[in-house]
Structure 1
């Protein structure tokens, strides 16, 4: 399976960070465009959702920043496959440390970004 070009670009961005012991692996990361999924009540407010081996996107026209954010979640789950998803039950969404880290990864890897400031959990 050939990786989605958006995922390849997101990996290039995340590879600049040394937040986890191993770089993100994308050889099995699948991308699905599933607008119907984002009509479900809990997911209406989102444009992307990550799971262990891929991500769901609301549309093909999402930004590279969103793909990088979701790939960061895949990277987190590659290191903490149980703790990361369960953290949403304990911390919720906005205060979740994994969400904060994914947002920081996007900010730190933008072309004009300064050095990364958030380390692994």
Structure 2
């Protein structure tokens, strides 16, 4: 594939995912305080103490059964508690970026729907995350997978 075609495809992917990426804007105040920003493979990665507080908040602890998240993907933006979490979660979170590039603005709805279906099927709310097919695909990208019975 020529470099021009690659650039056009990349711009198209960014535009396709832009509505989801813009959902990260409310995190901007948290991403400004002592945060580190960098771009890796066309994805904005942000770490910082205020983001750590956000990812460890009750809204995420509910989904994970108490641990909160080390990182989260919102379109082409990944936020993580710190650089160590980002390094440890990079493969997993970049798998979510690729999923978002496939689904575009429908990704959040597909993710939530798949999680609810998994939870209802297992009759266990923890399955929302652990049995969600999008999470299973991301864990498989890391070379691991775990589901709840």
- With normalisation by structure 2, the TM-score equals 0.50
Greater Rg by CA: 2
Calculate the aligned-residue CA RMSD, in Å. 2.3
Equivalent positions of 1:1-121 (< 5 A) are 4=39, 7=40, 26-27=41-42, 29-33=43-47, 34-44=51-61, 45-62=68-85, 64-92=87-115, 93-107=129-143
Moved over 3 A (4+): none
- With normalisation by structure 1, the TM-score equals 0.60
Q: Is the 8 A contact 1:87 1:96 kept in 2?
A: no
Higher helix share: 2
Separation of aligned partners in 2, 1:82 and 1:94:
23
- Alignment length, in residue pairs? 86
Describe the SS at the equivalent of 2:78: strand
